[in-house]
Amino acid sequence: MKRLKNLNQKKMLSEYNKFIREDCMQSIAGIEHRYRGLKNKTVLITGGTGFMGSWLTSFILFLNKEFSYGTSLILLSRNASESAISKWDMGNTKVRFIDGDVRNLSDIPHEVNYIIHAAASPDITYHASQPIRTYETIVNGTFNVLNAASLLETVDNIVHVSSGLVYGKNETGIYEEEHSFGKLNCSNIHAVYSEAKRMAETIVAICKNQFRLPITIARPFTFIGPFQSLDKTWAFNSVVREALLNNKIRIHGDGKIKRGYMYGSDMAAWILCMLANPSKTSVYNVGSDKAVTLTEIAGLVSSSLQSGPAILYENLTGALVNNTDWLPDTSRAKNEFSFNEPMALATSIQKTINWYQHK
């Protein structure tokens, strides 16, 4: 019985590796040379076990296996040694897990050459229930990481993961450019994440000037794909969760809000390319600029399943329904790094559903 269980686990691992490999290969096609700066270097990822950290780790494992990069990884998070990633087959990649909190960080391993600072939960429920911890993680954590980085002998580049939410309320159009900032209601508890991210970018500017650190800011928008928790309250996750449970897909509001959804492997390809190629521009949006409504998302999810669950609209009286369109202008990143066109949305959704069905 135990032998059968081990065989099943090996089969699942083989299917998983094939699945992720295909995604990464598609995202990197034609631009493999843009990642050579990572060869035989050590990359530290803070918040390295979440959705973004999981994809970045997967992509580096892919580069090591397919192109013999020899890149080493250090993953820092509050429970790194107990995370799902710590159970992965890392192949020949040297991976070190550090259990730690960036709020208390004072030093970084001396061998680190590159840093991706991504330690902060984007979960709005967490922000509301833990606002002080959210603020401290983002603001204090950012200073601690950069201060510790300034003590290293050599830092090739740092990517600070900010958020598209720093733009505030959109009053001029649905496409956010890197310089178009709007209003934020700082007296609202829900502004803690976006305000903290703005302050963290100011800290980046201070440390970049005072410590002479090479830092690139990535402002992520909306993503889909493996490694996201379907228990989160984000619209896409809720749609997929209800559909996989054969429930009706419930949409709060009229379903007309627009987002752009980027697949996980494309997100990792963009951020790692920015890491390996320091630029004077230093600030880039990361995401898809292809607008799609929530109704269209629900329709694509429904049609991807044999059960074809129905879509139900709920206009809840007094409910806080976000009706704001939110998409990035990604022309700067595309022009400077020659990125491939992101994976088609229908393909991204089908791949995401396939992953959750086989998880």
Per-residue pLDDT at 12: 47
Does the residue 65 lie in any domain?
Answer: yes
CATH of the domain at 15: 3.40.50.720
From first to last of its 359 residues, what are the pLDDT tens digits of the chain?
444 344 344 444 556 678 889 999 999 999 999 999 999 999 999 998 889 999 999 999 999 999 999 999 999 998 887 777 877 777 778 999 999 999 999 999 999 999 999 999 888 888 888 999 999 999 999 999 999 999 999 999 999 999 999 998 776 555 677 777 877 778 788 889 999 999 999 999 999 999 999 999 999 999 999 998 888 778 888 899 998 888 888 888 888 889 999 999 999 999 999 999 998 888 999 999 999 999 999 999 999 888 888 888 887 554 455 567 888 999 999 999 999 888 999 999 999 998 888 76
Q: Are the CB atoms for 178 and 332 separated by under 8 Å?
A: yes
Per-residue pLDDT at 174: 59
| Cα–Cα distance for residue pair 65/163, rounded to 1 Å | 31
Whole-model pTM: value is 0.91
Q: Are the CB atoms for 203 and 212 separated by under 8 Å?
A: no
Query: Bridge partners of 122?
Result: none
Query: Bridge partners of 349?
Result: none
Does the residue 83 lie in any domain?
Answer: yes
Per the structure, how many domains does the chain have? 1
Local structure of 90: helix, strand or coil: coil
Q: Are the CB atoms for 289 and 328 separated by under 8 Å?
A: yes
| Cα–Cα distance for residue pair 116/161, rounded to 1 Å | 7
Structure tokens at 150: 């300034």
Q: Which domain holds residue 75?
A: 2-223+263-289+324-343
Does the residue 237 lie in any domain?
Answer: no
Angle of helix 345-358 relative to helix 294-303, nearest 10 degrees? 50
Q: Are the CB atoms for 216 and 275 separated by under 8 Å?
A: yes
H or E stretch at 317: none
Does the residue 40 lie in any domain?
Answer: yes
Q: Are the CB atoms for 108 and 45 separated by under 8 Å?
A: no
Structure tokens at 277: 């190629």
Residue 164: CB partners within 8 Å, gap ≥ 6?
A: 176, 219, 220, 221, 285, 287, 326, 328
| Cα–Cα distance for residue pair 246/322, rounded to 1 Å | 25
Per-residue pLDDT at 35: 97
Local structure of 123: helix, strand or coil: coil
| Cα–Cα distance for residue pair 185/196, rounded to 1 Å | 13
Per-residue pLDDT at 172: 56
Per-residue pLDDT at 263: 97
Q: Are the CB atoms for 31 and 338 separated by under 8 Å?
A: yes
Q: Where on the phi/psi map is residue 28: left (φ > 0), alpha (ψ -120 to 50), or beta? A: alpha
Residue 317: CB partners within 8 Å, gap ≥ 6?
A: none
Nearest to 103 by CA among 76, 143, 162, 151: 143
Q: For residue 342, what is the DSSP state?
A: P
Helices and strands (H and E) in the chain: how many: 11, 15
Per-residue pLDDT at 321: 52
Structure tokens at 194: 């976006």
